[in-house]
Amino acid sequence: MKVVMDEKQIATSLVDLTGRIAAAVPDGTDIAVIGIRSRGEILAQRLARSLSARLGVTVPCGTLDITLYRDDINEPRGNTQPTVRSTEIGFDINEKIIILADDVLYTGRSARAALDALIDLGRPKAIRLAVLVDRGYHELPIQADFAGCTVDIPGEQTVEVRLTETDGIDQVIVE
DSSP string, 105-158: ESSSHHHHHHHHHHHHH---SEEEEEEEEE----SSS---SEEEEE----TTS-
Residue 68: band (very low, low, confident or very high) from pLDDT cuts 50, 70, 90: confident
pLDDT score of 80 more than 80: no
Q: In this predicted structure, which of 22-26, 83-87, 100-104, 170-174 has the lowest mean pLDDT?
A: 83-87
Q: Is residue 48 part of a domain?
A: yes
Domain count within the chain: 1
Name the residue among 45, 32, 21, 46 with its Cα closest to residue 130. 21
Q: Is residue 57 part of a domain?
A: yes
Q: Is residue 64 part of a domain?
A: yes
Q: Is residue 13 part of a domain?
A: yes
Structural domain of residue 58, as residue ranges?
7-69+87-155
Q: Taking the CB of residue 68, how many other CB atoms lie within 10 A of it? A: 13
pLDDT score of 152 more than 80: yes
pLDDT score of 54 more than 60: yes
Average pLDDT of the chain? 92
Q: Return the CATH number at 148.
A: 3.40.50.2020
Q: Is residue 37 part of a domain?
A: yes
pLDDT score of 76 more than 60: no
Residue 43: band (very low, low, confident or very high) from pLDDT cuts 50, 70, 90: very high
Q: Is residue 94 part of a domain?
A: yes
Whether omega for the bond prior to residue 110 falls within 30 degrees of 0, making it cis, is no
